[in-house]
Amino acid sequence: MELGLFPLGIVLLPTERVPLHIFEPRYKELIGECLEDGHEFGLVYADESGLRDVGTRARVVDLLEEFDDGRMNVIVEGGERFRLLELTSGRSFHTGRVEGVDDEPEERAVREATVALGAFRALAKIVQAEPDEPTEDSPSLSFEIAARVELDAAPKQQLLELRSERARLQLVAELLNAVGRTAVQERELAARASRNGSRLRS
């Protein structure tokens, strides 16, 4: 099927919610139609290398503000993944022919889910946060955990393209452990700089 596309420098994961400021005329048209008809659009990561093949269906869940010139602040939520088969034409905004992306059949990743949730809890403790915790038996646990953490676009795109929940959970645990180590190092450096402040002054 054909889907309106919104190329951006961010990756939207299934279940993730992000704010968007809509200001280009073509995307004001796209989002306006989605609001009017309840349609979804495709959010695709784009950088200097171009569009990625795998993106996320997105729906507008909240219109925060609409300006007189048609600009909008909205909240969108990620839904199912899709693969971009080819770009199409005929509209002011990008469109493409897409197909759904499903996981390969596999047994439930119980151990990997436990490890990933453990990494999530450990990171929350390190940064002294109390985020909502997803349930361990959720079929989209990897995405739900990753959606609650600030991650770079590249690993998020990698998660999006993996077709194994087990592999995604393993990657999520690795990413969260790395974020945790970085947070600890930054805290230690800040504490050291605070103690040695007199030596840092000119």
Q: Residues spanned by CATH 2.30.130.40 within the chain?
A: 2-100
| pLDDT tens per residue across all 202 residues of the chain | 899 999 999 999 999 999 999 999 999 999 999 999 999 999 999 999 999 999 999 999 999 999 999 999 999 999 999 999 999 999 999 999 999 999 999 999 999 999 999 999 999 999 998 989 999 999 999 999 999 999 999 999 999 999 999 999 999 999 999 999 998 988 888 777 766 654 444 3
Quick one: CATH architecture of 2-100?
Roll (2.30)
pLDDT given at position 187: 81
d(CA 108, CA 117): 15
Q: 75 has which bridge partners?
A: 19, 62
Integer CA distances (angstroms), 116 to 104, 172, 179, 201, in order: 20, 6, 13, 43
Is the CB of residue 86 less than 8 Å from the CB of residue 53? no
pLDDT given at position 48: 93
pLDDT given at position 201: 45
Q: Look up residue 184 and give its two tokens.
A: 């600890």
Integer CA distances (angstroms), 7 to 143, 152, 176, 194, in order: 20, 17, 27, 43
Integer CA distances (angstroms), 15 to 36, 57, 85, 146, 152, in order: 22, 10, 23, 10, 17
CA–chain centroid gap for 42, Å, is 13
- The residue type found at 46 is A
